Structure 1
Amino acid sequence: MSKRLLLSRILKRSGVFALLDALPSRPGVIVLNHHRIGDASKTRYDRGVFSQTAEGLGEQVRFLQKRMPIVAGEELEELLTGKRPLDRTYAAITFDDGYLDNYTNAFPVLRSLGAPGIFFPVIEYAGSDAVPWWDEIAYLVRNTDRPVLEVSTPVPLRVQVGSDREAAIRPFLRHYKRPENQDSARFLQELRESAGCSLPEPGRRFLNWGEAREMVAAGMEFGSHTCSHTILSQQSAEQQRWELTESRRILEKELGLRIHSLAYPVGSSSAFTDETEKIAIDAGFSLAFAFQGGWNRSGSIRPSHVQRISPAPMMVSLESQVFGLTRAIWTP
């Protein structure tokens, strides 16, 4: 058990959470970001992108609904751009990448609870059996029978592959995301050759446009996650501009609605730059979401750099996150 989880359980049992829950919330917007919804233990690919089961997502949504409005669309845009005053804590729930389980698992939960979600699909993956780079990296490392894996791009990396495959996967994911990795295709080819195994036929893995339109009709919102899920900081300004403007154009054409929000792929501090933010604004996005932790406190919100958190999988830890951010009495 982690120290954070242990502390959260102690605070809950001692009644601290109940006291915090009774306090007024601070003005701001807390954004919870998910990728995949389902059982991580059953995947052959990257387990790190699973944030919750369908049942756990429902529990999270009900917890939030009892304490703050869950918003999306124009309401969220107005709150984050200062067009509407923030008088309390609001929540938003986002989903990156557009995996099929967003439609089969997350969407039914949100619809049944009357909660809006914001989905950021990758244009090239829509309706496809694509295996993105993070899933391919995880599959190759998880299934190789070789004791050592190595790549030379962008700089040499050599990893011992033991019984803990998750520990061996993480260094390769970090290495791929380095800003100086200007040749992602070469990186993947080197890893394929080092691992000595190939990908299986996966079947459809991402939601299609018909499913997206059904979700929109039920009150869900969509935004851009670029055309190819490239790491924008690795690309030229011209390529970044194309990724953003073309993805927005296709989304508006397919879904028949104004697209005003963007989620930067990966979303870390090294995954996009100040120039990327300017390009996003020029491309017509009024909101652009990072993924670096923290929340959006009234008076310090930057619409081109909206903060999101990864919700803790255990409810007691999520309570710790939410109360710690929105009550300002202590830091979890």
Structure 2
Amino acid sequence: MSKRRLAATFLQRSGILQLLERSRSKPSILIVNHHRVGDAALTRFDRDVFSASADAFEMQLKYFKRHFNIVAGEELEDLVSGKTPLKHTQIAITFDDGYLNDYTISFPILKAHNCAGNFFLVPQYVGTATVPWWDEIAYLLRNSPKSEITFQSPVPFTINLNGDREQAIREVLRYYKRRDNHNSDQFMNELREQIGCELPQVERRFINWEEAREMKAAGMSIGSHTQTHNILGQMAPEVQRWELTESKKNIEANIGTEIRSLAYPVGIRGAFDETTEHIAQSLGYKMCFSFYGGINTSDHIQPMNLLRMATSRDDLIFRVETTLLSRLGKLPY
């Protein structure tokens, strides 16, 4: 049993969790992020982008509604800017990439519970059967007949495929995300040349503009996830500016409304920097979202770096971590 599970079990059995849940939450914005909702076991691609099953997502939504207020779009922006004072913890739910699951699974659940979500789209993917770099890496490594793969870019690196393939996928994805990986095309070409298998034919994997407009009309918020989903921190400033400008322009043209929010691809430290934040602000973005954990407390809200966390797939850990962050402002581990 993990330390997180042990701590969660202790807090529940001791009654501390229940006491904390009845206490007043801190003035803050807790933003949870998803990429895909559904059954990870059924995918041939990256399983780690699945954060919850449909049932688990609905359970989380019910828990949030019971204990907090859920905000999105302009209501969230007003809290971030200080136009609306923060009096207790507010919840925002975001979805990156624009997978078709957003429309077929997450959107109906949100509508059924009269909740709004924030969806970040990649114009280059909208309405397509694209297999993005993380999904391609996952599929190729899982299905390769080879025992090892060697990369020369950005620095020499060999991955052994004789052991746990899922762990190998995670290691290669971490390597791809390195800030000094300035030639992602070379990286992928090295992988494809050695891997010994090819991607399968797939049907459409991302929502189209008509579906995005339907979601917007139903109260969902639409934002940018850059034009191509390449990692901003690996790019020169002028290329970053193009990514943010093109995505904003294309989404606005197809959705028919101003785009004021941006989720940085990958979102970890190094996937963007202060230069990225300045560019985004100069282009009219009012809220930009990272993804390395944490909660946005009333005395530490950075509109160009709004903290987001992943929700645990363990129901008890989800409940405990939500409660600790909203009451204490941090996790004890």
Q: CA deviation at 1:86?
A: 0.5
Q: CA deviation at 1:14?
A: 2.1
Task: Say if 1:162 and 1:168, in contact at 8 Å, map to a contact too.
Answer: no
How do 1:1-332 residues align onto structure 2 when only pairs under 5 Å count? 1-328=1-328, 331=332
What amino acid is the match of 2:101? Answer: D
What amino acid is the match of 1:281? Answer: Q
Equivalent-residue separation in structure 2 for 1:258 and 1:183 (angstroms): 32
What amino acid is the match of 1:17? Answer: L
1:72-104, Cα deviation, whole Å (9 max, x unpaired):
111100101111110110000000000000111
Equivalent-residue separation in structure 1 for 2:17 and 2:121 (angstroms): 36
Task: Say if 1:291 and 1:308, in contact at 8 Å, map to a contact too.
Answer: yes
Of the structure 1 ranges 90-99 and 80-89, higher mean CA displacement relative to structure 2 is found in: 80-89
Equivalent-residue separation in structure 1 for 2:10 and 2:127 (angstroms): 45
What amino acid is the match of 1:331? Answer: P
Equivalent-residue separation in structure 2 for 1:182 and 1:214 (angstroms): 37
1:249-305, Cα deviation, whole Å (9 max, x unpaired):
111111111211000000011100100000000011000000010000001111000
Q: CA deviation at 1:56?
A: 0.7
Equivalent-residue separation in structure 2 for 1:6 and 1:222 (angstroms): 38
Q: CA deviation at 1:71?
A: 0.2
What amino acid is the match of 2:110? Answer: L
Question: Secondary structure of the equivalent of 1:66?
Answer: helix
Q: CA deviation at 1:149?
A: 1.3
Off by >3 Å, runs of 4+ in structure 1: none
Equivalent-residue separation in structure 2 for 1:139 and 1:71 (angstroms): 36
1:45-71, Cα deviation, whole Å (9 max, x unpaired):
100100011111100000001111100
Aligned length: 332
Equivalent-residue separation in structure 1 for 2:142 and 2:230 (angstroms): 23
State the TM-score, normalized to the length of structure 1. Answer: 0.98
Equivalent-residue separation in structure 2 for 1:178 and 1:331 (angstroms): 28
What amino acid is the match of 1:106? Answer: S
Task: Say if 1:325 and 1:331, in contact at 8 Å, map to a contact too.
Answer: no
State the TM-score, normalized to the length of structure 2. Answer: 0.98
Equivalent-residue separation in structure 1 for 2:143 and 2:238 (angstroms): 38
What amino acid is the match of 1:314? Answer: D
Equivalent-residue separation in structure 2 for 1:226 and 1:64 (angstroms): 29
Equivalent-residue separation in structure 2 for 1:192 and 1:15 (angstroms): 53
Equivalent-residue separation in structure 2 for 1:78 and 1:100 (angstroms): 29
Of the structure 1 ranges 155-164 and 112-121, higher mean CA displacement relative to structure 2 is found in: 155-164
Of the structure 1 ranges 191-200 and 218-227, higher mean CA displacement relative to structure 2 is found in: 191-200
What amino acid is the match of 2:60? Answer: Q
Task: Say if 1:151 and 1:194, in contact at 8 Å, map to a contact too.
Answer: no
Q: CA deviation at 1:164?
A: 1.5
Equivalent-residue separation in structure 2 for 1:232 and 1:311 (angstroms): 24
Equivalent-residue separation in structure 2 for 1:101 and 1:125 (angstroms): 14
Q: CA deviation at 1:6?
A: 2.4
Of the structure 1 ranges 289-298 and 236-245, higher mean CA displacement relative to structure 2 is found in: 236-245
Equivalent-residue separation in structure 2 for 1:290 and 1:22 (angstroms): 30
Q: CA deviation at 1:109?
A: 0.5
Equivalent-residue separation in structure 2 for 1:118 and 1:196 (angstroms): 39
1:305-326, Cα deviation, whole Å (9 max, x unpaired):
0000001111211112111111
Question: Secondary structure of the equivalent of 2:240?
Answer: helix
Question: Secondary structure of the equivalent of 1:125?
Answer: coil
Equivalent-residue separation in structure 1 for 2:233 and 2:113 (angstroms): 38
Equivalent-residue separation in structure 2 for 1:124 and 1:274 (angstroms): 25
Of the structure 1 ranges 2-11 and 21-30, higher mean CA displacement relative to structure 2 is found in: 2-11
Question: Secondary structure of the equivalent of 1:316?
Answer: helix
Q: Structure 2 regions of 5+ residues with no counterpart?
A: none
Q: Structure 1 regions of 5+ residues with no counterpart?
A: none
Of the structure 1 ranges 236-245 and 282-291, higher mean CA displacement relative to structure 2 is found in: 236-245
Over the matched positions of the two proteins, sequence identity in percent amounts to 48
Equivalent-residue separation in structure 1 for 2:258 and 2:5 (angstroms): 41
